[in-house]
Structure 1
Amino acid sequence: MLARRTLARAVAQPSPLGAAAPTNARNMATLREIELRLKSVRNIEKITKSMKMIASTKLAKAQRAMQAGKDYGLANAEVFAHTPSDKPTPNKLFIVISSDKGLCGGIHSSVTKATRRALNNAVDSPIAALGEQVDPESPIMVIGDKSKAQLMRTYADSLRLTFNQIGRDIPTFADAAGVADLIVKSGVKYDSVVIVYNKFVSAISYESAAVEVKGEEGLRESNGFKTYENEDDLTKDLAEFSLANAIFAALTESHACEQSSRRNAMDNASKNANEMMATLQMQYNRGRQAAITNELVDIITGASAL
């Protein structure tokens, strides 16, 4: 207590004009800065831990919704597996699925990079297995503000439609149907739609993937449809319904990847905060001990001089 009172009086006394600040005053300022930083990191750690718990709860719901969405995707794949067509589809429309929120790792940059590789006809692009060349100026539509901002830098002229406020909660088929309806009514001409999304691999990993959905003309020209006589409205409705199914399956899987990545990101942030708090606490303890030792030395020296 005596050392603290002496240190407080020493700091409170103003130094003469032009004189250097006492060493103890500098140590006290440094300790105060460390203490404030330690408090700030501790508050951040509480926030990241809470966000991790929330993401863990949402991940369980997202995985259940993803299983339901996959059933739609499997039904879609079954339809297109029985409608093969030799007609090429040079006019492709790209739909990039991300979200509006951040703090979830590389979810957004993953689909953005995959889209850029596909438009550049890279060998490792997610649609390289289709064996078709892609026009670098193909139209693009984006679901989510994050990927929209990233693609605006290089493909601003190719963006046709952007969607937001989708997937704030668990995506529903109504959301996917609304997006498909706006795409059909947009007036953009396409032979097929390439949906670029994040594929859920496990609770700790994901990868960018793409699925191609044929348009109205592609379904009409397929060998399976030519066998039967179908009305134009039927083909049109089936193409729009298939697009909505594919978008719904991709939305649910991307949402599960987002929650998984956010949980992992907040877990890593909490661990980093704990390590930083340990380092700052050690620095604070060492600085405080050094300040107290210097005060005791000053007191003992003064008493010896008397």
Structure 2
Amino acid sequence: MKEIKLRIKSVQSTMQITKAMELVASSKLRRAKERVEHSRPYFETLYTTLFDIANADSEFSSPYLAKREGHRRLYIVIAGDRGLAGGYNANILKAVAADAGDSDYCVLPIGKKTVEHFERRGVPLLTTAFAEAGSLSVSDCFEISRLVCTKFLAGEFDEIRLAFTQFVSMLTQTPSVLSVLPFDAPRPKPGHEHKSLMLYEPSSEAVFDAIIPEYLAGVVYGALCESVASEQGARRTAMDAATKNAGEMIDHLNLYYNRARQAAITQEITEIVAGADAEA
């Protein structure tokens, strides 16, 4: 009986922690969802502008559009700083492994779990300066964008891919791996260009090349917001399930405790009756 009571107290303490973590995740999730909604219009506007520039002229060229024959990839991988979020971290890391296959690749990790995972596997890391996902700001995303664009233009990587978790709903978070460079825009056939009403100075190529780093920074920031919201949603779901499991465990332990207590009382009554009969 004493062991069961200690076990009940231990589970109750754990349930209080999981309930508190669920409430904290719910509060953070609300703010994260607002960040996701506010970041999407910026990304959509930049993408539309780039698409229009690239689609307006069949002779338009840019180093950010050129598809290369090599297979040197850089993955920008966004995961969490902590665990206790269900399969959130494991799912995105598995998605990167499946997308990369047996090819050699380099990783720019965002999130402490990402750094730990790829360091254990001996995957080369471009930098660990952005290892803490929770402290990244918009300026950090622009710094990441400038670094990645410089490496891409220098020819160190042939393709840049972004791995993050897309926030669909409170219960659904989908790992995604997107190719961000070279920029994928359908090119018009000669003679089928659409007339653009925009006049770009000094030239459409210069404007396009200047917008790409801004676009990539917006994509990284949007992916970061999506990933943070997904992490909080996954943690809230995991802690809610843990709280419910703890409640069920306490009910079972109370049942076992009552059975043991009843058995002890029955044994005491039996001993008293047996002693009374022996004296008689």
Q: TM-score range by the shorter chain?
A: 0.7 to 0.9
Q: Between Structure 1 and Structure 2, how many residues are aligned?
A: 252
Distance 1:81 1:192 in 2: 19
Structure 2 segments unaligned to the other structure (5+ residues): 56-64, 194-199
Query: Which of 209, 215, 238 is 1:242 aligned to?
Result: 215
Shift of 1:106: 1.1
Query: Which of 35, 38, 43 is 1:65 aligned to?
Result: 35
1:87 equivalent in structure 2: 67
The residue matched to 2:77 in structure 1 has which SS?
A: strand
Aligned-pair identity in percent equals: 31
Matched, 1:290 2:257: no
Shift of 1:236: 5.7
Structure 1 segments unaligned to the other structure (5+ residues): 1-30, 122-135
Distance 2:25 2:69 in 1: 40
Distance 1:174 1:197 in 2: 19
Distance 1:296 1:101 in 2: 54
5 Å matches for 1:139-288? 139-154=106-121, 156-162=122-128, 163-168=130-135, 172-183=137-148, 189-214=156-181, 228=203, 230=205, 237-288=210-261
Matched, 1:114 2:95: yes
| 197-206 vs 296-305, which moves further | 296-305
Query: Which of 7, 12, 18 is 1:48 aligned to?
Result: 18
Distance 1:56 1:246 in 2: 25
Shift of 1:145: 1.3
Distance 1:116 1:179 in 2: 22
Asked if the contact 2:79/2:133 (under 8 Å) is kept, the reply is no
Bigger Cα Rg: 1
**TM-score (norm. length: structure 2):** 0.80
Distance 1:117 1:44 in 2: 36
Distance 2:178 2:147 in 1: 19
Distance 2:24 2:223 in 1: 23
The one-letter code sitting in structure 2 at the alignment partner of 1:73 is F
Q: Using CA pairs below 8 Å that are at least 6 residues apart, which structure has the higher relative contact order?
A: 2
Distance 2:155 2:277 in 1: 91
**TM-score (norm. length: structure 1):** 0.73
Q: CA RMSD in A?
A: 2.8
Distance 1:153 1:79 in 2: 41
Matched, 1:99 2:72: no
The one-letter code sitting in structure 2 at the alignment partner of 1:150 is H
The one-letter code sitting in structure 1 at the alignment partner of 2:34 is R
1:305 equivalent in structure 2: 278
The residue matched to 1:257 in structure 2 has which SS?
A: helix
Shift of 1:298: 1.3
Asked if the contact 1:72/1:246 (under 8 Å) is kept, the reply is no
Distance 1:148 1:60 in 2: 27
| 174-183 vs 255-264, which moves further | 174-183
